[in-house]
Structure 1
């Protein structure tokens, strides 16, 4: 596979690399190839903050252990930045700024000349202000450099026998809020508890979008009918209200990645705060 060989060559030329490792399939694939190529000269580092579900952190630990790569955790403080918690359209810029301002000094102090992330080729064609923050701090994105798409990332992960090749995408919990609504630790925990409740029902690819006192459940369109028929809806509503929501809604369009970005018209983006 040509792109795998290209990725291996990239890491061979790096000689040592620190991986910004979230536990998602993109950064997990990067960690796998980095470890297979560099062995103990590769280090995976996971940023821990209120926007990361505890179970996602545990998944990252388990996956790193199975790959064999050295794994460490650092705490990031994006919630202390009002530019982040105000949730502007370029919120991710401030998140990735905090991440790489934490990882870069760590990499330098440990003798790693490169910080590497899991950005893929498709990400470059979406609105991802965090990519600029990473580039400004010298991070590299091998998957994007060789042009791997999201589908190809999963194909390559399956080819390499990664058990998590079909793991659903799980962006940070801050992505559950409409732009302009302030993000707090309490709101993040509320969303996290709601999504955890749904996963215990056997659902995997889902989102709980939070807006004010309302929760909006997004499921794959083909699962909506069965969900309504077999779920204890009064029990679900009672649980969500216990978490802190007042209203519980079901999105009839269904889950669609990046749905909150549909409000980002050119006019809105033109008014984005400084930092993009």
Structure 2
């Protein structure tokens, strides 16, 4: 995505609103994952509040290690040092049993820790990167944010996902065209227990898909079968590298590797 040099009047007004929202606070803590939304929020907050911004990144088995490393580098590029907290999601039975409201319990568990760390460091306002489009999808975790008093200024400013990508391009952020990323647990069907081994297999498989040039993909884990979703134009790359991909996954306990001919679909494990 090329950098934008100008903004439409509508988008400019939304950005102004966002800055006004942020300027209402003396300091803020931001739940920072390094994704498209939280990166724009962090960039804008630092522009408005300077060093009075604390990004907190949660490290745990639900987050690919490559994403964690990218988040740390991004925060440093923006000019702030993130606070890292560790989250043992496997200590949370409501995460492990993977019911339809897993995301609610996991989000509440994680943001409770973020809120505690923020307050201990002198930050009483905690922000997250939820946007207006998130209200359209199945997002049980949003209820947890409301219960904990987490503020979502991107949503309050009327910013949709494409707006956020456009503003990211305007700021020259490397996340402007970054593919959507979600918790690794979303690759496992509802009511199937989540194990460390399952998340490791998903992470390893998706790391390999990224290494062969794919940008938007998911590796869904159905028992001992891996189902790969990607854009149809990437099918050839899968076929050309199938032997190494299959070997990689079989070393992690996967018996069967399949390619979904319907292609990538957001939220295919919702339920």
Pair 1:192 & 2:193 matched: no
- Mapping of 1:1-276 within 5 angstroms? 1-224=12-235, 226-227=236-237, 231-261=240-270, 264=271
The Cα shift of 1:78 comes to 2.3
Q: Please, what TM-score do these two structures have when normalized by structure 2?
A: 0.93
Distance in 2 (CA, whole Å) between partners of 1:52 and 1:174 is 9
The Cα shift of 1:256 comes to 1.2
The Cα shift of 1:123 comes to 0.3
Distance in 2 (CA, whole Å) between partners of 1:19 and 1:87 is 27
Residues 226-276 of structure 1 deviation map (CA, whole Å, 9 limit, x = unaligned) = 2355x1323322221112200000000000111122xx3xxxxxxxxxxxx
Aligned partners of 2:127 and 2:151 also within 8 Å? yes
Q: Please, what TM-score do these two structures have when normalized by structure 1?
A: 0.91
Structure 1 residue ranges without an equivalent (≥5): 265-276
Distance in 2 (CA, whole Å) between partners of 1:87 and 1:143 is 29
Residues 75-130 of structure 1 deviation map (CA, whole Å, 9 limit, x = unaligned) = 11322111111111111101111111101122222221211001010001211111
Count of residue pairs the alignment pairs up: 260
Give 3-state SS (helix, strand or coil) of 1:235's partner.
helix
Supply the RMSD in Å over aligned alpha carbons. Answer: 1.2
Q: Partner residue of 2:6?
A: none
Structure 2 residue ranges without an equivalent (≥5): 1-11
